[in-house]
Amino acid sequence: MAYQYELAYVKSIGALLLMCIVIDLLFLSKAVTPMQQRKEHSVKDQLYASKHSSQMSASEIHNHLQALNKPGVKTILSPDGDTIVCVPIDQQLAFDNPLLRNHKIRKQPPSLAGAGVSFTNVKASNQFQQLWQLAGNCPEETIPVRQAKKEDLLRAGSVAPFARKPPENNETLAQKHEHAIAYTGGQYYGAQASINVWKPEVQKNEYSLSQVWAQAGTRQIDLNSVEAGWHVDPALYGDDNPRVFAYWTNDSYNTQGCFNHFCAGFIQVNNNVTLGAAIPYSTYNGAQHEITIAIAKSDKWGDWWVKIGDDFIGYFPAEIIPRLATGTATTLMWGGEVYNTRPSGKHTKTQMGSGVVPYKGYRHASYFTYIFYLNATYYLITPSNLELIQEFPNCYSIGLSPVSDPNEEKSFYYGGPGLNSQCP
């Protein structure tokens, strides 16, 4: 069928060559250079800060930045304006969490050897690149951390909601989160997918993301969720670059959890990948970029590890996700989410995925492919019982690729433009 044939490119070496050739074009050869973009965003941030500085005291901002931005052994200035600091592994923010004071760092990911599909060999061409790497690298025994800025906090308005997804603990709040996702229920030890990366247009105070979820617990009470993927979140970062992220919550998105290293939770052990840093993205009818994301439970400790590209970069420690640590994930999800504030009383114009509908297909619509779950014996299995959620299909939708052979990869296209004549 069309979906299956159109996605066959991902099995070829050509995708890797394209990634290497066009990274400079995508990041460094635009009409607006990264340095110009940095200046433009700096001006916007200063204007925003002058309007909102009264909401947070100078001492509150200073103290929170001091807590977030741990000192490092090396500083790298990324061409897009980010500051990356190489922080010693044992001094990262996670260990400010009282639950992790006596935690011993695990440097070995879970054993994921299956006689079926190998967790490390699902995809041959899977190099992962970020813009900051053009400017330097972090030494062994350190982790690269994107530094938070004063303007980041000011955009949030206060410390409390900074770097958190808006809550879903009542019907009204939950309706602001719109999805186009595939999901399955059961007992699972992990999930994986390769995700097409785009640069959707996002309106103020909203976000658009594409990710993998692993969850356990009761929604609106004690839901544990560990997540990873890419997102565009101008309120968090101050620009519209797609960035790789990890996220966790242990109380149904209420007050616990955050993105990346913006709170004491996720423990990183890899010195090559920066959470929250920009990544290459696809162009309409042009070169395509994707990232492979996996989340997997440690069979020994109960931690849930995150794999980006070829590297296990770190883990959500068992201490902060008790429902997932002591059991399995009962729900896995793959797909897109938009936070819709309904500006001017209408549906948002924030795009999901590439911003076009699924039937447009390859090089136009965004996709997930190589979708697997991890079973109790650590085999990667193609799910056969995926269900779909698309609350407003005229705004954002999803279409599964038909798979005749159960051993073939599962795929789907998803996304949409948001506000249009059929989505008022």
pLDDT of residue 295: 97
Secondary structure, 3-state, the chain: CHHHHHHHHHHCCHHHHHHHHHHHHHHCCCCCCHHHHHHHHHHHHHHHHHHHHHHCCHHHHHHHHHHHCCCCCEEEECCCCCEEEEEEHHHCHHHHCHHHCCCCCCCCCCCCCCCCECCCCCCCCCCCCCHHHHCCCCCCCEEEEECCCHHHHHHHCCCCCCCCCCCCCCHHHHCCEEEEEEEEEEEECEEEEEEECCCCCCCCCCCEEEEEEEEECCCCCCCEEEEEEEEECHHHHCCCCCEEEEEEECCCCCCCCEECCCCCCCEECCCCCCCCCECCCCCCCCCCCEEEEEEEECCCCCCEEEEECCEEEEEECHHHCHHHHHCCEEEEEEEEEEECCCHHHCCCCCCECCCCCHHHCCCCCEEEEEEEEECCCCCEECCCCCEEEECCCCCCEEEECCCCCCCCCEEEEEEECCCECCEC
Give per-residue pLDDT as tens, 355-384.
999 999 999 999 999 999 999 988 899 998
Ranges of each domain in the chain: 2-415
pLDDT of residue 289: 96
Record the pTM. 0.86
pLDDT of residue 168: 78
CB atoms within 10 A of CB 44: 15
pLDDT of residue 171: 72
pLDDT of residue 38: 43
Give per-residue pLDDT as tens, 241-292.
999 999 999 999 999 999 999 999 999 999 999 999 999 999 999 999 999 9
Name the stretches of the chain with pLDDT < 50: 1-54, 113-125
